[in-house]
A and B are shown apart, each in its own frame.
Chain A
Amino acid sequence: MQLNDYYQRFGISEEIIRQVMNRALAKGGDYCDLFFQHKITDHIGLEDSDVNRAYSNVDMGVGIRVLKGFQTGFSFTESLNLESMKQAADTAAVIANSPASTSIENMKAHDVANYYPIQKNWETIGVDDKIPYLQRLNEKVFAQDTRIIKSTISFMNQSSYILFVNSDGRITFDEQPMGQISVSCIAEQNGEREQNSHSLSGRYDIDYFTEEKLDYLAKELVDRTVNLFDAQKPPAGELEVILAAGSSGILLHEAIGHGMEADFNRKNISIFSDKINKLVAKDFVSIVDDGTIPQMRGSINVDDEGNDTEKTVMIENGVLRSYLHDRMSSQHYQVKPTGSGRRQSFRHAPLPRMRNTYMLPGPHEYDEIIRSVKKGIIAETFTNGQVNIGGGDFTFYVKSGYMIEDGKIVTPIKDINMIGNGPEVLANITMVGNDLKMAEGGWTCGKDGQSVPVSMGLPTVKVSKITVGGQN
C-alpha cells in the first residue's frame, strides 16, 4: 500500500493534517505528532469440540500528541472528521501556554523496511477458512492421550494499518499483521486434573499454520500436561537454576529489559539509572533487543514515533551499553533513538518498550551446563512475570520444569514462582549455552496500562542461585 491508500483509508489529506497540526501547535508546543490507526481483529473459538463462537473488533482513530520540553499533552478521537480532530488537537495543545512558535516542516514519506511480508492478507480470510484448523487441532489433542477430557482452542488474527505524521515533516506508514493459535487442555487421572496451554504467534499469514505446526502444538501441549501428574514442588529457597533455551528469555525481559527502558532512567527511578558503560555481567553475556527479526511477534518495521527500528545492544560482553529509547528519552540523553517508542493503540502516547529481547549464544555446551548442577532445577515453560523497576526485584512463574540432582535431570516440577534481583541475577549468570532459541508463543508485555506484543529468547543459561518457591 502507498501513502495515498492510507490517506484514503482515513479520509484525510496532507492539507487536513496541516490544519490539525496547526491547531495542535497553536498554544506554543515544540512538537506534535498524529498517529492514525485502523485495526481489525478476528477471533474464533472451539470449546467442547465445536467451533461455535466468533468475535470481531474494528477500531479506528487518531492520537494527537503535543510536546513542550519533556511535558506531554495527549488526546485522541475516533471520529476522523476535521472538526473532531481539531477539537482533540486543541485539548492536546494546552500542555503549552504561549503563542505558537513551531512551524511544520515539509512533509515527506520516509521509507521503511519490511520485516514481515505476507502473501495473504488476513482480511481476505473468512471464518469458514479458519474453522478446519481448529477442528483438526482438537482431534490431534484428543488423539494424543486418552487422559485428555477438555480442549479449548482459539484462532486470533489482526491487521493494523498505521499512518504516522509529525511536525518535523516525517511521514511513515505500516501494515502490521498478527496470527495466533492458542490451545489449552485438561487431563484427568485417578480423579486428579491438570491443565496447561501453549500457543504459536507471530506476524504471519495463515499459511504459517501448517499440518506439522498443528501436530507439534498438540504434542507439545499434551506431553506438558500429562507430565504434571508426576510433578512435585521443589524445596524452598535458593537453588542453582538452569533456564532452558527459548521462552526462558522472560528472565531477560523482567530482570533487565524493563529497567533498561529509558523513561525510567530519565526519571532516575530505575535500578540501572547510573550503570551505563559499567560491567554488569560476565564477558560472555550479551543481550539485545531487536525489532528486525523476520515475522517475529515483537518485530516492527518502524516504531510508533516514525523512527526506524533496529537491533539495540543493551549489554555487550558484560558491559551495559544502551537503554531503549523513545523520542523524548533520546533527546534527554542526546543519543540516536533506538526505535523503541511503542503504543498499544491510537488511544495512548508512546513509551520506550521492548520488542524481541534475547541473549546471544555463549561458549558452553548444553550437556556441560546440566552436568555442572549439584542440586537445582531446570525451568522450561512460563506463564507470567513482573518487576519493580527501582528495587530491581523481579519474578517469573514456572509452569513446568525438572529437578536436577548430581548433574542429572530427575523429577518434574510445576507451578512455582521464582524471585530475584535484576543486577544480582545478571552477575550470577555463570554459563551460557551455544543453543539460542526464540520463544514461539503469544507473549504480551504490559506497562502503564498499555499492552504490546513482544517476544524473547535465550540459549540454555545457568544462574548460580535464584530463590525458588517450594516446600520447606
Chain B
Amino acid sequence: MNKQNQLDLAEYVIQKALSYGADAAKVNVSNSRSVEIEYRDRNLDKLSESTQNSLSVSIYVDRKFSNHSTNDLRPETLDRFVEQAVAATRHLTADPFRHLPSSDLYPKNAGVDLEINDTNYKQVTSEKRQEIAKLVQEAALKQDKRIISVAGGYYDSHFLSTKMHSNGFSGSKEGTSFSVGAEVTIKDGDTRPEDWEYVSIRHLSQLPDLGKIGETAAKRALNKIGQNKIASGKYSMLVENRAAVQLLSMLIAPIKAQALQQKRSYLDGKKGQKIASPLLNIIDNPLLIKGMASRWYDSEGLATQKRNIIENGVLQNYYIDTYYGEKLNIQPNGGSTSNVIVAAGTLSFDEMMKSMAKGIVVTSFNGGNFNGTTGDYSYGIAGFFVENGIITKSINEMNISGNANLLWNQLVAMGNDTYLYSAYQRPSMLFDDIHFSGL
C-alpha cells in the first residue's frame, strides 16, 4: 500500500462507520516490512522476512466507545467488520468523558522533516544485511578463547502509517529503523555467563563501527568471569548508562494521566514540587532529528512539542491524554512519551567510579519490579564491586530495594556519557546509600 491507498482505505472505513450509525470514528492504517538475520558461530542460523498490514478503527456512538483491529483487509469482510464493531459498541455503558480530541490540538501543518526515514532503505541488499550480521558476530568471536558461542543479529524495518479522524485530522508518516548487535556466551567453570551489545538507529549510515559492537559484547560477557555475591549492606551505586533506563521507567509510569486518575501513582499531586535531586533534568523531545521516537503528531493525533518533565528535581509536567485528561479536568498535552532525554552531567564514568570508596557498579538489572502506587522497588542486579575507586570483583545475584521517593533524592552525580541508541537517552548515574542484599 502507498500513502494514497492508505488514505483511501481510512476514508472508506470512516464513511462505513458513520453510515452504520457511529457519531465519530478514527482509523489507523499501517503496513510494514521487516527483515531479521541471525549468524551464530560462523553459520547463517536464521533468515526471516515479511510484510504486514493492519487496520484499527475506534467507534464513538451515543457516547459509547470501542476499538477494533484486523489484518483481514478484503473489502467484503471489512464492511461486515465495521458493521459489527458499531453494533457491539451499542451494548456498552455511555461514557461522558469519551470523545475525539479537540481539533484545535491537531497539527496545523506537517512541520520540519524529522529524518526518521532512511530513503536508501530499498537499496539495502540481502547480501549487505547478511554481511553486517556476520561481521559483528566475527568481531565478537575472535576476542577470547573462553567464548563458546556468539550470535550476531541484524534487524530492520520500514513502515508507512496513516491516521484519520472524522473531525478533521489526517496524517501519514514513514520511517525506518535498524538494530544491530551481538550476544556472547562464555565458559566460566560450571556456568556460561552471557551478555550483549545492541544499537538501534534510524538510518543505516548512523551505524557505528561493527568491530566495536562485537568487541563490546564480548568484553561485557568476559567481565562476568568469577561473578558472585558479596555481603548485604548499604553501598554507593553507579548505574551504567545502558542499564539506567530501568530506573527512569519508575518516574515515567506514575506521571501518566491514567495512573493519576486511577490513584495508582506515588507522584499524584506532586506537580510543581521537588521529587528528585536538583541534578535531575528530563525533557520529552518529539522533534529530535533522527530520534527513535520522533513524531510531529502523537498516537492521538495531537500536535507534539518539546516539554520539560523534570527541571532541577522539580516535576514540571504530567503526560495527559484526551480521555483521562477529561476525567481529571486537565487540558490534554499528549499522553505518551516520545524521546525522553536526561540532561548529562560533567563527570566521566571513570571519574564517578573513582569517587566511590565502597560501591557497586550496576551494569545490568535482572528482573524485579516497581510498585507505582507506593514507589516501592526491588530489582536484581549484576556488575562490579568497587573499593577505593578500583574494581575489585565481578558480582551478580544481588538485589537493590527501596522507595523511588528516596532513590531520586539519593542521586549525587550525573555522567557525561549519554547513551544515544534509544528513545531514552540517559547518562550513567551515581546514587548514595542504596540497600543491597547479597550474602
Question: Is A78's CB under 8 angstroms from B401's CB?
Answer: no
**How far apart are the CA atoms of A420 and B228 in the complex, in Å?**
11
Q: How would residues 412 to 428 of chain A score, 1 for a CB under 8 Å from any chain B CB and 0 otherwise? A: 00111111110100000
Q: Which residue of B lies closest to A129 (CB)?
A: B91
Question: Is A269's CB under 8 angstroms from B66's CB?
Answer: no
The verdict on A18 contacting chain B, using a C-beta distance below 8 Å, is: no
Given A194-B374, A391-B227, are A88 and B399 also a contact pair (CB < 8 Å)?
no
Which of A44, A51, A95, A271 meets B47, CB within 8 Å? A95
Question: Is B399's CB under 8 angstroms from A419's CB?
Answer: yes
Question: Is A236's CB under 8 angstroms from B48's CB?
Answer: no
Question: Is B45's CB under 8 angstroms from A58's CB?
Answer: no
**How far apart are the CA atoms of A423 and B191 in the complex, in Å?**
10
Question: Is A384's CB under 8 angstroms from B366's CB?
Answer: no
Chain B neighbourhood of A60, CB < 8 A: 71-72
The verdict on B52 contacting chain A, using a C-beta distance below 8 Å, is: yes
**How far apart are the CA atoms of A425 and B46 in the complex, in Å?**
34
Q: Which residue of B lies closest to A186 (CB)?
A: B263
The interface centre, meaning the residue of B65, B264, B380 with most chain A CB atoms within 10 A of its CB, is: B380
The verdict on B43 contacting chain A, using a C-beta distance below 8 Å, is: yes
Chain A neighbourhood of B399, CB < 8 A: 236, 395, 416-419, 467-470
The verdict on B423 contacting chain A, using a C-beta distance below 8 Å, is: no
Question: Is B192's CB under 8 angstroms from A52's CB?
Answer: no
Task: Please provide the chain B residues from 33 to 71 with a CB less than 8 Å away from any CB of chain A in the complex.
Answer: 40-41, 43-53, 64-71
Interface size of A by CB at 8 A reads 82
**Interface 9-mer from A67-75, A290-298, A313-321, A453-461:** A67-75
Given A55-B66, A419-B366, are A269 and B148 also a contact pair (CB < 8 Å)?
yes
Which of A94, A269, A384 meets B194, CB within 8 Å? A269
Question: Is B43's CB under 8 angstroms from A71's CB?
Answer: yes
Given A53-B65, A72-B47, are A471 and B401 also a contact pair (CB < 8 Å)?
yes
The verdict on A344 contacting chain B, using a C-beta distance below 8 Å, is: no
Question: Is A233's CB under 8 angstroms from B373's CB?
Answer: no
Which of B53, B64, B191, B264 meets A390, CB within 8 Å? B191
B235 to chain A minimum Cβ distance, whole angstroms, is 10
Chain B neighbourhood of A122, CB < 8 A: none
Question: Is A74's CB under 8 angstroms from B47's CB?
Answer: yes
The verdict on B398 contacting chain A, using a C-beta distance below 8 Å, is: yes
Chain A neighbourhood of B401, CB < 8 A: 233, 236, 416-417, 469-471
The verdict on A35 contacting chain B, using a C-beta distance below 8 Å, is: no
Chain B neighbourhood of A415, CB < 8 A: 369, 371, 374, 376-378
Question: Is A186's CB under 8 angstroms from B193's CB?
Answer: no
The verdict on B113 contacting chain A, using a C-beta distance below 8 Å, is: no
A285 to chain B minimum Cβ distance, whole angstroms, is 19
The verdict on A114 contacting chain B, using a C-beta distance below 8 Å, is: no
Question: Is B263's CB under 8 angstroms from A149's CB?
Answer: yes
A197 to chain B minimum Cβ distance, whole angstroms, is 11
Chain A neighbourhood of B438, CB < 8 A: 236-238, 467
**How far apart are the CA atoms of A175 and B194 in the complex, in Å?**
38
The verdict on B396 contacting chain A, using a C-beta distance below 8 Å, is: yes
A428 to chain B minimum Cβ distance, whole angstroms, is 13
Q: Which residue of B lies closest to A73 (CB)?
A: B47
Chain A neighbourhood of B192, CB < 8 A: 268-271, 273, 389-391
Q: Which residue of B lies closest to A131 (CB)?
A: B91
Chain A neighbourhood of B233, CB < 8 A: 236, 472
The verdict on B432 contacting chain A, using a C-beta distance below 8 Å, is: no
Task: Please provide the chain B residues from 180 to 199 with a CB less than 8 Å away from any CB of chain A in the complex.
Answer: 185, 190-194
The verdict on A77 contacting chain B, using a C-beta distance below 8 Å, is: yes
The verdict on B242 contacting chain A, using a C-beta distance below 8 Å, is: no
Task: Please provide the chain A residues from 53 to 110 with a CB less than 8 Å away from any CB of chain B in the complex.
Answer: 53-61, 70-78, 88, 91, 94-95
The verdict on B165 contacting chain A, using a C-beta distance below 8 Å, is: no
Chain A neighbourhood of B47, CB < 8 A: 71-74, 94-95
Given A236-B399, A395-B380, A415-B371, are A472 and B264 also a contact pair (CB < 8 Å)?
no
Question: Is A88's CB under 8 angstroms from B50's CB?
Answer: yes
The verdict on A207 contacting chain B, using a C-beta distance below 8 Å, is: no
Given A392-B191, A415-B378, A467-B229, are A268 and B396 also a contact pair (CB < 8 Å)?
no
Which of B264, B369, B380 meets A195, CB within 8 Å? B264
Q: Which residue of B lies closest to A398 (CB)?
A: B378
Question: Is A186's CB under 8 angstroms from B373's CB?
Answer: yes
The verdict on B26 contacting chain A, using a C-beta distance below 8 Å, is: no
A159 to chain B minimum Cβ distance, whole angstroms, is 15
Question: Is B366's CB under 8 angstroms from A470's CB?
Answer: no
**How far apart are the CA atoms of A276 and B117 in the complex, in Å?**
50
Q: Which residue of A lies closest to B74 (CB)?
A: A79
**Interface 9-mer from B3-11, B93-101, B104-112, B207-215:** B93-101
B381 to chain A minimum Cβ distance, whole angstroms, is 8
Chain B neighbourhood of A386, CB < 8 A: 366-367, 380
Given A78-B53, A236-B399, A391-B227, are A126 and B88 also a contact pair (CB < 8 Å)?
yes
Question: Is A414's CB under 8 angstroms from B376's CB?
Answer: yes
The verdict on A128 contacting chain B, using a C-beta distance below 8 Å, is: yes
Task: Please provide the chain B residues from 393 to 414 with a CB less than 8 Å away from any CB of chain A in the complex.
Answer: 396-401
**How far apart are the CA atoms of A344 and B95 in the complex, in Å?**
34
The verdict on A47 contacting chain B, using a C-beta distance below 8 Å, is: yes
Question: Is B382's CB under 8 angstroms from A393's CB?
Answer: yes
Question: Is A395's CB under 8 angstroms from B72's CB?
Answer: no
Chain A neighbourhood of B285, CB < 8 A: none
Given A268-B149, A385-B367, are A71 and B44 also a contact pair (CB < 8 Å)?
yes
The verdict on A243 contacting chain B, using a C-beta distance below 8 Å, is: no
Which of B41, B68, B93, B382 meets A50, CB within 8 Å? B93
Extra pairs beyond A54-B92, A236-B233 (10, CB < 8 Å): A56-B85, A76-B52, A349-B48, A388-B194, A391-B193, A393-B366, A397-B378, A415-B377, A417-B367, A419-B366
A-B contact pairs, 5 of them (CB 8 A): A51-B92, A56-B69, A127-B91, A131-B91, A393-B382
What are the 9 tightest A-B residue pairs by CB atom distance, in nearest-first order?
A: A395-B367, A390-B192, A236-B437, A469-B399, A386-B367, A469-B378, A52-B95, A54-B66, A395-B380
Residues of A bordering B, CB below 8 Å: 44, 47-48, 50-61, 70-78, 88, 91, 94-95, 126-128, 131, 149-150, 152, 186, 188, 192-195, 233, 236-238, 267-271, 273, 347, 349, 383-386, 388-397, 414-421, 423, 467-472
